[in-house]
Structure 1
Amino acid sequence: MLLEDLISQVAGFDTQSPREKMCLFAWWLHVHGGKELFEPNDIRRCYDKLHLSQINIARNLTRMSERKPPDLLVERGMFKLARAVRIELDKKYGLHPSIQAVSKLLADLPDQVPDLAEKVFLSEAIDCYRVRAYRACIVMTWNLAFDHLLNWILKDPNRLAGFNAAIPVKFQKTPKKASIVIKSYDDFADDLKEFEIIELCKNANLLNDNLIRTLKEKLGKRNTAAHPSTMVIVQPQADDVVSDLVNNVVLALT
């Protein structure tokens, strides 16, 4: 996690005391900076990175180590967070292994997503996940996966022909829709609903039954996340949507 991403999760960071900020910076250095021990210059670089006004860092670190109980422990002339402080910050900002896995899955995707629109959806999904906006993350991940699906259909003339052949069969009783012919990306949005597109993929044998079920389920979760409701969206729900759609759609349909 970047330092900037951590700070974006901290409500009221700018009004925190120097002690609170330095505890947070120390935690970030331990967990994300790979430092078992840190020096005043490490904290100073955090201040510089965030464009914060400098204070007497060495003096403040010493005071923090002399508190009762101490915030910091001194070892080999350097500092580390006291256990109680580290545990408290772990509870607030620590990453569950599943969050680390999903974050890595999203972070590794940009090089594998050549389409510009997909890159935009991916970037927004990553931003939402990092700041724990899980409702928005589900919506953006669906946009990414569905955009990928549509481009996958269009990319191959045989797939597109099979998709178009399935339209008049599915909509026999709806003449207006039965006459639809998909020629470009915009034709999908203009003429067909997402659920209908998934059904047509099934009828045209473009996708297997497992993937059809996955897409229908995730579309339902997207709808729940996108529409105003009192339902709370939590991290495991976002993990499920991201993992399924990225692995089974974005990476699988090539």
Structure 2
Amino acid sequence: MTVNELIELTADFEHLPQKEQIKLMAWFFCVEHSREYFETKEIKEEFDRQNLVAPAGISSLVPQMRKGKPPVFVNSKKGNSIHRTVKKELEEQYLGTTHKKEVSQSLRDLLGDVKGATQKLFLEEAISCFEIKSYRASIILSWLLTMDILYDFVLIPTNLTTFNQAIQSHGKYKKITISKKEDFSDIKESDFIELLRIARFISNDSRKILDEKLGIRNSCAHPNSILILDYKAIGFIQDLVKNIIKNYQ
């Protein structure tokens, strides 16, 4: 894993205590570069590469962390290394079962935000895909669930009139009148999102979220060389559930 990916897996990295940031950055650096040892200046440079503000006085904090009880770092002629116990704990947290269980549980906690029984089962299937590392499938299913819930929202009689007026205002689909869910297949998803905005069913911020997620979904739906990592799928699912699905049921 890269340093950037590991930082993405760390909650509020920039707000952690300075020594904790240094400990994690040193280990992240060693993981990405398959290194056992590191120099203090390399950790400072890694903060710079990640566009993060480096803790003040790294050169003095690292020796302090070697002298701590228990120590975080060990020094030798080859340089600094991560103390064996600390290294084992971090490997278990980020690369082992502990982190995977925590992530899976955080996603399953989202099921409580979905009201419909069939929709809840659909999200559960998306999460199951994530848990077996089928990240593309989890993203595609989450998107389909979001669209289905938005379609149901539009089909509420009072909303339907407003949406059909938005279609006429938009102009591109003037020959289309929505009366049932199947009718939405005649409208491109990007245009559907814009129509939701015209109808004032979504804010501009929500539109931005949907447009961004549609781009990711499109990348996942076609064979290509793009690598979809776990944190990308986690953010995708959480963002849609918390900001869209939860608000339009």
Name the aligned partner's letter for residue 165 of structure 1: Q
Percent identity, aligned pairs only?
33
Could you tell me which residue of structure 1 aligns to residue 188 of structure 2? 193
**In structure 2, what is the Cα distance between the partners aligned to 1:240 and 1:224?**
15
Name the aligned partner's letter for residue 126 of structure 1: I
Q: 1:92 to 1:236 in 2, by over 3 A?
A: closer
Could you tell me which residue of structure 1 aligns to residue 214 of structure 2? 219
Aligned-CA RMSD value: 2.7
Name the SS for the 2:201 alignment partner: coil
Q: Runs of 5+ in structure 2 lacking a partner?
A: 1-84
**In structure 2, what is the Cα distance between the partners aligned to 1:137 and 1:101?**
14
Structure 1 residue ranges (4+ consecutive) displaced by more than 6 angstroms after TM superposition: none
1:180 aligns with 2:181: no
**In structure 2, what is the Cα distance between the partners aligned to 1:186 and 1:230?**
33
Name the SS for the 2:200 alignment partner: coil
**In structure 1, what is the Cα distance between the partners aligned to 2:113 and 2:232?**
26
Matches within 5 A, 1:156-167: 156-167=156-167
Q: Runs of 5+ in structure 1 lacking a partner?
A: 1-82
TM-score of the aligned structures, taking structure 1 as reference length: 0.58
Matches within 5 A, 1:101-250: 103-109=105-111, 112-116=114-118, 118-154=119-155, 156-171=156-171, 174=172, 177-189=173-185, 191-250=186-245
Question: Aligned-pair distance for 1:249?
Answer: 1.1
Q: Deviations over 1:196-247 (max 9, x none)?
A: 1101111111110000110010000000111110010001111211111000
Question: Aligned-pair distance for 1:179?
Answer: 1.8
Count of paired positions: 165
Name the aligned partner's letter for residue 145 of structure 2: L
Contact 2:122 2:145 in 1 (8 A): yes
Name the SS for the 1:251 alignment partner: helix
TM-score of the aligned structures, taking structure 2 as reference length: 0.59
Question: Aligned-pair distance for 1:100?
Answer: 2.5
Q: Tell which structure's C-alpha radius of gyration is larger.
A: 1
**In structure 1, what is the Cα distance between the partners aligned to 2:143 and 2:218?**
10
